[in-house]
Amino acid sequence: KGYTRRGAAGSYALSVFGKPKRETPCDCERSNEPSLLQTVFLRNDTEMFELIDRSKGWLKSATGNGQGPSALTLKSRSARIDQLRSQLKSAEKKLKNTKDKSTIKRVESERRTAERELARLEEQVREEAKAKSAVVDRTPELIREAYLRTFSRYPTEKETALADDYVTAAGDVTSGLRDLLWALMNSKEFVVNH
């Protein structure tokens, strides 16, 4: 019997890297030899990407994106802010052009509700921008930690500069660090030494 992806979590990865099937009580069943399957697993297996990106993993906790908003949420919130601003302008026009007390009362109530929601959404945007800025400020520290987690050593100045340039060019620190982790785990130093 071989290992399947439907088995226990990580059993496929363990089998690729030499975990014995435990058919005999001998250590000779374990394989310590590198294989092509190991290289392919590290480079493109979905389980590998899931391990890097898991919700309780280092990447999510270090960048604060474990529960952060998705791009869709950001887009819909931006659209809602625009809609509320338009609604407030419309309410101002209605208040200037009407004399009916019931209409004025209704429009003022709608305006107050829209102002509260707009203030809440704008505060969320400010808080997320502040959090993102804090992560960007920590980029060199996060790069050092990525090297420590993969190579068990600090990066050289040249490695730090290259990694910082790449993470900065990625636009999003989280995706830049994800790519850096993947590259480090696929380097000869990691594969051979760890």
**DSSP, residue by residue, 130-193:** HHHHHHHHTHHHHHHHHHHHHHSSPPPHHHHHHHHHHHHHTSSHHHHHHHHHHHHHTSHHHHHH
**pLDDT 10s digit of each residue in the chain, 194 long?**
444 444 455 677 777 777 777 777 777 777 767 777 777 777 777 777 777 777 677 877 777 654 444 444 667 778 888 888 888 898 888 888 888 888 888 889 888 998 998 888 888 877 776 666 655 677 888 899 999 988 999 999 999 999 999 888 887 788 888 889 888 988 888 877 76
Q: CA-CA distance, 193 to 188, in Å (whole number)?
A: 8
Overall pTM surpassing 0.75 (yes/no): no
Closest among 138, 132, 140 to 162, alpha carbons compared: 140
Nearby residues of 54 by Cβ (< 8 Å), 6 or more positions away: 60
Are 164 and 139 contacting, i.e. CB atoms less than 8 angstroms apart? yes
Q: Which two tokens stand for residue 118?
A: 């707009």
